[in-house]
Amino acid sequence: MTEPTRADAAALAVLTTGPLADLSDPAPVSASELAFRGKVWNIRRDTFGFGGHDVVREYVDHTGAVAVLATDAHGRVLLINQYRHPIGEREWELPAGLLDIAGEPPLEAARRELAEEVDLAASDWTQLLTFHTSPGGSNEVLHVFAAEGLTATPTFARTEEEAEIVVRWAPLQEVVEAVLAGRLRNSILIVAVLAAHARRG
């Protein structure tokens, strides 16, 4: 194992003795290039210094995204079922979407996605949590908002996979049980409903 530098040793001390928290500690990047440009997101290749050596890593250079845990007056959670080609499944999810409009705040993106995917608006919004979806291979940051006070909006014209979205309302406890039983496997849905369940418990 490479001996830590003085800066590394200080960071390790904070990690092991301070409040339990992730630590912002970006390694110095000596080279960065776009390895692949895709339709939705790109692959970036960085060379950075770590432990006295140059390391090369490729990752999804992501715009970031939002998701909405919407609940009705009966405490039911709004779920959508959508086809996801990489896994070949029609998966239960939360309404969600990319932060792909320059300068758009996450809350505004969440409002937009709720309207675009399920034709709803909400009067009450709370940030539930923010997390990294897959930090070993992507720089995506996901912002989850809780939404209540729902009202209908004009119907949005949906295309591609979104054209076959199925909507279902389910009690939070039922969703939690389905997650723990392994019947629901969408990571954003899992993180959001377990966080909401913990906060309400």
Strand 65-70 to 96-98 pairing: antiparallel
Mean pLDDT computed over 7-19:
75
Q: Which H or E element spans position 179?
A: helix 172-180
Residue 129 and residue 166 in one domain? yes
The answer to whether residue 4 sits within a structural domain is: no
Q: Whole-angstrom Cα distance, residue 25 to residue 153?
A: 43
Q: Long-range CB contacts (< 8 A, 24+ apart) of 181-186?
A: 184/92, 185/91, 186/91, 186/92, 186/93, 186/94
Tens of pLDDT, residue by residue over 31-78, are: 999 999 998 889 999 999 998 999 999 999 999 999 999 999 999 999
The answer to whether residue 189 sits within a structural domain is: yes
Residue 106 and residue 194 in one domain? yes
Grade residue 8 by pLDDT with cuts at 50, 70 and 90.
low
Mean pLDDT computed over 4-10:
61
List phi, psi (to 5°) of 3. -65, 135
The answer to whether residue 12 sits within a structural domain is: no
Domain residue limits at 127: 65-200
Q: Whole-angstrom Cα distance, residue 84 to residue 51?
A: 39
CA angle 86, 87, 91 (to 5 degrees): 115
Grade residue 7 by pLDDT with cuts at 50, 70 and 90.
low
Mean pLDDT computed over 116-141:
96
Tens of pLDDT, residue by residue over 137-163, are: 999 999 999 999 999 998 877 767 776
CB 68 within 8 A of CB 80: no
Least reliable range by pLDDT among 79-93, 107-121, 161-175 = 161-175
Q: Which residues are catalytic?
A: 162
- 70, 66, 22, 96: which is closest to 193 by C-alpha? 70
Mean pLDDT computed over 16-41:
90
Q: Whole-angstrom Cα distance, residue 39 to residue 100?
A: 12
> CATH number of the domain that 192 lies in?
3.90.79.10
The answer to whether residue 146 sits within a structural domain is: yes
List phi, psi (to 5°) of 117. -95, -30
